[in-house]
Amino acid sequence: QQQVKQSPQSLIVQKGGISIINCAYENTAFDYFPWYQQFPGKGPALLIAIRPDVSEKKEGRFTISFNKSAKQFSLHIMDSQPGDSATYFCAASRQAAGNKLTFGGGTRVLVKP
Amino acid sequence: ETGVTQSPTHLIKTRGQQVTLRCSSQSGHNTVSWYQQALGQGPQFIFQYYREEENGRGNFPPRFSGLQFPNYSSELNVNALELDDSALYLCASSLPWRDEQYFGPGTRLTVT
């Protein structure tokens, strides 16, 4: 019950468009859901995170939507820019278990100018 | 405040050899976690260290071992290297009462 499934594997969006990445989890004990951004040759960088007691969190152009009953959460990137071209990972963890992160498989986002 | 640093950046080893990777945690962070990221995949949790003790382990064999030092820096040791150990090894540090984990740039290990 540790799997986190992420989709799509890749997406192409025009500059100014909206990128949407979806994740589904199985373990209902997860209580922290971060998104990471990773550029080639770099480590993942924490982008935004949410807890299950809220349904949405927005930071700048990035928004997480969370559906606890469906065990799903998603990342929306508004007004996508070429600099947003990267691989995005969703993850989940349980504070009582030391916050060991379980990652999705990643989504490669390409923003075309 | 310095971020998480890792060394070396790249490493090439031969099957059967042993390797040690190093990580310096972000200032004030006393919890260090190690992850393995195979090409094109998400990172997988190896183990976590808190106050120099192993605090949880993922589905990795005993030939993956680690240490944490009093200054919170950490080492990952892999014995009897196999071709499938080729990956990016990531270290992440955090505060024990906070969820946020901050990753270093990783060490790219190639086993030939």
The closest alpha carbon to A11, from A99, A101, A94, A74, belongs to A74
Question: Alpha helix (H) ranges present in B1-112?
Answer: none
CA atoms within 13 A on the CB side of B12: 1
Count CB pairs under 8 A between chains A and B. 61
Tens digit of each residue's pLDDT (9 = 90 or more) over B52-102: 999 999 999 999 999 999 999 999 999 999 999 999 999 999 987 788 999
3-state helix, strand, coil in chain A (%, to 5): 5, 55, 40
Contact A49 B99 (CB under 8 A): yes
The closest alpha carbon to B94, from B34, B46, B41, B17, belongs to B34
Q: How far is CA B92 from CA B37, B49, B64, B102, B108, in A?
A: 13, 10, 17, 5, 15
> Is pLDDT above 60 for B1?
no
Contact A101 B4 (CB under 8 A): no
What's the token pair of residue A29? 């004990």
Which chain B residue shows the shortest CA-CA distance from A48?
B100
Tens digit of each residue's pLDDT (9 = 90 or more) over B5-38: 999 999 999 999 999 999 999 888 889 999 999 9
Tens digit of each residue's pLDDT (9 = 90 or more) over B61-72: 999 999 999 999
CA-based radius of gyration for chain B: 13
Q: Is any Cβ of chain B less than 8 angstroms from the Cβ of A102?
A: yes
Q: For the beta carbon of residue B61, count every other beta carbon within 10 angstroms.
A: 10
Contact B42 A93 (CB under 8 A): no
The closest alpha carbon to B47, from B75, B10, B73, B19, belongs to B75
Contact B50 A101 (CB under 8 A): no
